[in-house]
Structure 1
Amino acid sequence: MRKRVVIKVGSAVLREDNKLAFSRMENLVALISKLKNEKDTEVILVSSGAVAAGNITLNLDRKEVINRQALAAIGQPLLMKYYKQYFAEFNIKCAQMLLVAEDFDSRKRSKNAKDVMEVLLKNNILPIINENDVIANEELLFGDNDQLAAHAAYFFDADILAILSDIDGFYDKNPNEFDDAKILKNVNYIDESELLMKHTANSEFATGGIVTKLKAADFLMKRNKSMYLSSGFDLTNAYDFLVDGNHKSGTVFKTEK
Structure 2
Amino acid sequence: MKRVVVKVGSAVLTKGGIINKERFSNLVSFVAAISQKYQTILVTSGAIATGATVLPNISNKTTAGKQALAAVGQAKLINNYQEEFKNFGITVAQILLTADDFDSIRHSENALNAVNFLLDNGVLPIVNENDSVIVDEILRGDNDSLSAQVAHYFDADILVILSDIKGYYDKDPNKYPNANLQKVVSELSIGELEQEHSPNDAFATGGIVTKLRAANYLLSNDKMMFLASGFELDGAKDFLLNGVHNSGTLFSKE
What's the TM-score once normalised by structure 1's chain length?
0.96
Taking only the aligned residue pairs, the percentage that are identical comes to 49
**Quick one: which amino acid aligns to residue 23 of structure 1?**
E
Alignment of 1:7-18 (within 5 A): 7-18=6-17
Of 173, 176, 179, which residue of structure 2 is paired with 1:175? 173
1:80 matched to 2:73? The reply is no
Partner residue in 1 for 2:53:
56
**Quick one: which amino acid aligns to residue 20 of structure 1?**
I
Structure 2 unpaired stretches of 5+: none
SS in 1 for 2:127: strand
Q: Report the Cα distance in structure 2 between the residues aligned to 1:237 and 1:244, rounded to whole angstroms.
A: 10
Partner residue in 1 for 2:128:
130
After the TM superposition, which of the residue ranges 71-80 and 13-22 deviates more from structure 2? 13-22
Alignment of 1:88-103 (within 5 A): 88-103=86-101
Q: Report the Cα distance in structure 2 between the residues aligned to 1:144 and 1:4, rounded to whole angstroms.
A: 22
Partner residue in 1 for 2:237:
239
- Runs of 4+ more than 2 Å apart: 137-144
1:144 CA drift (Å): 2.9
Cα deviation code 1:39-60 (max 9, x no counterpart):
2x10000000000111111122
Partner residue in 2 for 1:228:
226
Q: Report the Cα distance in structure 2 between the residues aligned to 1:22 and 1:243, rounded to whole angstroms.
A: 24
Q: Report the Cα distance in structure 2 between the residues aligned to 1:208 and 1:142, rounded to whole angstroms.
A: 6
1:30 matched to 2:29? The reply is yes
Cα deviation code 1:134-158 (max 9, x no counterpart):
0012332233301000000000000
1:244 CA drift (Å): 1.1
Q: Report the Cα distance in structure 1 between the residues aligned to 2:74 and 2:229, rounded to whole angstroms.
A: 23
Of 246, 249, 253, which residue of structure 2 is paired with 1:248? 246
CA RMSD for the aligned pairs?
A: 1.0
SS in 2 for 1:157: coil
**Quick one: which amino acid aligns to residue 163 of structure 2?**
S
Alignment of 1:59-208 (within 5 A): 59=56, 60-208=58-206
What's the TM-score once normalised by structure 2's chain length?
0.97
18 and 212 in structure 1: CA distance in 2 versus 1, 3 angstrom threshold = closer
Q: How many residues align?
A: 253
After the TM superposition, which of the residue ranges 12-21 and 46-55 deviates more from structure 2? 12-21
**Quick one: which amino acid aligns to residue 213 of structure 1?**
K
Q: Report the Cα distance in structure 1 between the residues aligned to 2:141 and 2:184, rounded to whole angstroms.
A: 26
Q: Report the Cα distance in structure 1 between the residues aligned to 2:230 and 2:138, rounded to whole angstroms.
A: 22
248 and 98 in structure 1: CA distance in 2 versus 1, 3 angstrom threshold = same
Cα deviation code 1:187-230 (max 9, x no counterpart):
00100111111111111100100000000000000000000000
**Quick one: which amino acid aligns to residue 40 of structure 2?**
V
Q: Report the Cα distance in structure 2 between the residues aligned to 1:87 and 1:138, rounded to whole angstroms.
A: 29
1:89 CA drift (Å): 0.4
**Quick one: which amino acid aligns to residue 245 of structure 1?**
G
Q: Report the Cα distance in structure 2 between the residues aligned to 1:144 and 1:86, rounded to whole angstroms.
A: 23
